[in-house]
Amino acid sequence: MLELFDRQLRQGARPDAPEARVERAGNVVRQVGPEHCWNGVLWSGLDEETADAAIAEQVRYFGELGRPFEWKLYGYDRPAGLDRRLLAAGFTPEPAETLMIAEIGRLPVGGEPPEGVRLVPVTDADGVELVVDVHESAFGATGDHLRERLLAQLAEGEVVAVLAMAGDTPVSAARMDLHPGTRFASLWGGGTVPEWRGRGVYRALIAYRAREAVARGYDHLQVDASSQSRPILLRLGFEAITTTTPYVHE
């Protein structure tokens, strides 16, 4: 699964927003776009002799664009000590996450939300605003970039977004990026407001997205899991494959 993931979603990555582009520069694959898009390095095939020069080139390239960017470092990336080289080049690590992958056919996809909660697909700008509200409440971070990205993705038809509603109040939201030409759909978000955590809402959102992925012809799900979501995903049948750590350069 790791080899498939690496080949399809890293080396063969497609832009995750209409305004972005994916470039291959030597042994580095990067995404470049406007400020509201994700900018950064998706994959690298480096060794002891080429690593420092490749890192310096990316810092120069994104610096000339005036773009903060992220080097997405995975636990199996080479050379050994690539993390130390990024630190020396001025990158700052954010909390590590766990790359988790599941074959959808092995997952329980019939999970229903708790009583009093219904799942509603997000199809328009009003729904996006509710997703942003949940994001800001669940994660304590501004949702401006999420708003722009989700609106663009909905227009392109390459995302599935869903809200969990308790009456007229949004209590959780999640999205799933679709990767045409691959076997993967990837799960993102999954934020639940504090008072609704621990009631099975997150699990129901995973099941909903798994069913939607199957309906669109995908057979694998991928997640960059936080320490909070990892135990739930393990219980559902996801496998922990490796770690992924964002290294950010301002």
- Both ends of the chain: CA-CA distance in Å? 33
Model confidence at 61: pLDDT above 90? yes
Q: Is residue 17 very low, low, confident or very high in pLDDT (cuts 50, 70, 90)?
A: confident
Q: Is the pLDDT of residue 178 over 90?
A: yes
Flag whether pLDDT at 51 surpasses 90: yes
> Are 110 and 20 in a shared domain?
no
Q: What is the pLDDT of residues 123-177, one digit of tens each?
A: 999 999 999 999 999 998 888 889 988 998 899 888 999 999 999 999 999 999 9
Residues 81 and 160 in one domain: no
Among 59, 63, 88, 83, CA closest to 73: 83
50 in the same domain as 165: no
Which residues, 6 or more positions from 231, have their beta carbon under 8 angstroms from its beta carbon?
none
pLDDT the model gives residue 190: 87
The pLDDT of residue 105: 92
Task: Take residue 65 and report the two structure tokens written for it.
Answer: 């664009």
DSSP classification of residue 194: G
Where does a domain end: 36, 63, 97?
97
pLDDT at 50 over 90: yes
Let me know whether 74 and 139 are in one domain: no
CATH code of residue 223: 3.40.630.30
Q: Is the pLDDT of residue 13 over 90?
A: yes
Residue 75 belongs to domain spanning: 2-97
Regarding whether 233 and 143 lie in a shared domain, the answer is: yes
pLDDT at site 189:
87
Instruction: Say what the alpha-carbon torsion angle 5, 8, 187, 161 is, to the nearest 10 degrees.
Output: -170
